[in-house]
A and B are shown apart, each in its own frame.
Chain A
């Protein structure tokens, strides 16, 4: 079936229509739920928006949410571009948090910037080590990295649970088991006015670095080449195995830094709730950001705003937070589907 339309019009339709359609469905479905809850969609959506972006302080909270999202997404961009499916970012995040705690608590207190640097390095190393294992298994034995990286998420979560309930259990904190706190010098400074911790700056800086790697370095070229066509890459002399292993290493390391951000920036202890599936959400962020660092920044801030706004709306309106979770997930689902619908429409109009 072919439609005869002017090419321009067809292009607009095939790009914009799916986006509007799926977003419309997402908002529509969520609106129904909102109405069922006894609220009006307008005040809820408005509340979420204002909760995430309505004041400088709230925007700071948004940035706090965006930081681990962005860091995970950046690593995933590298690895997804190479065609490797790392879905273990959540586990790499937790292991990075372990490394951060070691540098932030077990190493004696040293001047702030130095201690934070050490935390970052150790967090990166721990996360990278966690990521390189599925990568190596894939490169050497061709085991499916989707499955191995996912399994290692649970190993990491239980490992952290072990640490904070047994050897590293805090003797002072009451209530839920957590580790001892990190030194005051091991806490990320807060940006004045914004109220966000400095992690966002690190994340934004790394976004530039990842962009640079992808766009401007020979290594980034090799990553993209491997992802586009591994046969041609091999033919051209690229060591595909090396790319698999190193990209998983970097991806794990960046997710590890997300763990460090949570420990050093927000919680100041190691706990088992430092991540609300940031590793998994990071996958969705990377994908919606079209595997581009700038896209990831925008999407991370957007999603961070939704998450922060959901807390606000829960407190101020009394609406149940789950509605917002549904909204977030539906939007994510919608945006995930959108490129595929776009492609189908393009085929329909026989565009290229």
Chain B
């Protein structure tokens, strides 16, 4: 029987980056097919192509044997393809059933037929084997329940091929079990499911596994015969650390940052950081590896004062600074290189010199000493010379310090952020995804600067989805998975062990 879906020789480029490199994917009718890979492997890109959000540069799509061109999600929906992404497109104050039938509302005599709506929605839910409160408003539902509404919505629009992008990122383990039950009953009715994940144990629950790495397909396996070790090897095989860093031997050192039993919830109320404790010592770089969505974002936000802590303490040089504002964190010597350099780390529509003084705009030398306390007046001369000095020493390629930050390339923008954050001898540096999306030369530059801080005896917490970067820089390595962190001391850093833990493979025990 011909596969219900065939993506043949798909190539998708973003500038110089080849996100999908000649990928051929076949999905059979009635199977759960997982796409397994770490961040940047190309899974989401491929599915965005399937859902009509992006056009492939090369390659063809065959749906039910027919060649198809999908120019928009509307086309995909018409071809009975549905997607449940991580950002739900639900209307919060409306009820679940209203959201589900939004695309085709049953009506009688110009009024909404509530009975028919209820009937259809309940029938749909029943056929999948689960129960939802159809009259409940979305904002009252738990995230797991909201996800089910999204699934029902896709089914209501006639989806026979359902794409789920990292669906368990927002679910409890109980809800994950239930999700798989639902998916099974859907496939029993002939629906086909594509399941994007980075977690081994989930991939093993599906029917077939396609493993992506660096935009290419590296392996296709039957889930029944796959093993943990086999999958991990396929996901990470051949990856060599770009820079082998010799971790500094442990000696008596003072902890700069102490995190104790930290609990942090996200804005949906899900606990993303579960009872985490670790130290970052002076003169070291502690790297936290892991795939996105396991609580790293919330951890960084909690430490840097951008998110409330639900439990536990954070100490900086012995001072309890839990729930300190970003201003206080900075005053105590914390620097933060944020994950989103453009959305949070800089002002697109302000000049580079303005960007560089953020955080110290009210302090000398940027203000006149005269009337300092009462009414800080900016002194443009030192601002200018500071900006020029920093731009030079951090190699920011720009036409001038008066250029708007939005005209900087990604690499130069990140160098500008570094120039600002590292300017004042911070005691603790929190670096989140510092080299994401940067060219090799800039990556090297950033890594050198971070190493420099270590030489100076500063403490750095490096959070990254790029294992190469972690291994190349860190003295000790931790892995964050599902809200918990496991730390490897410097002499026990084992690449394959870390890779296994990043995808939930456990600490070395074979589970199959």
Contacts and interface: CB of A to CB of B under 8 A. Distances in A.
A216 B377 contact: yes
Interface string A212-225: 00001111011011
Interface in A25-51: none
B33 interface: no
Contact of B348 (A216, A222, A229): A229
B375 A236 contact: no
Given A218-B378, A222-B361, A239-B325, A232 B354 contact: no
A253 to B, nearest CB: 16
Given A218-B378, A221-B361, A236 B326 contact: yes
B338 interface: yes
A218 B376 contact: yes
B330 interface: yes
B378 A221 contact: yes
Contact of A218 (B329, B346, B377): B377
Interface of A: 216-219, 221-222, 224-225, 228-229, 231-232, 234-239, 352
Contact of B344 (A216, A219, A231): A231
Nearest to A229: B347
**8 A-B pairs with the lowest CB-CB distances in the bound complex, closest first:** A237-B327, A218-B376, A236-B358, A218-B362, A236-B359, A218-B361, A237-B330, A221-B361
Contacts of B345: 232, 235
B10 to A, nearest CB: 28
Chain B interface mostly helix, strand, loop or mixed? loop
B367 interface: yes
Interface of B: 304, 306, 325-327, 329-331, 336, 338, 343-350, 354, 357-359, 361-362, 366-367, 375-378, 380, 407
Contacts of A231: 343-344
Contacts of A216: 377-378, 380
Contacts of A234: 306, 326
A216 B326 CA distance: 24
Given A234-B326, A236-B326, A236-B359, A217 B349 contact: no
Contacts of B343: 229, 231-232
Contacts of A219: 375-376
Nearest to B372: A218
Contacts of B346: 232
B420 to A, nearest CB: 9
A218 B378 CA distance: 6
A232 B349 CA distance: 12
Contacts of B359: 236-237
B9 to A, nearest CB: 30
A290 to B, nearest CB: 14
A30 to B, nearest CB: 35
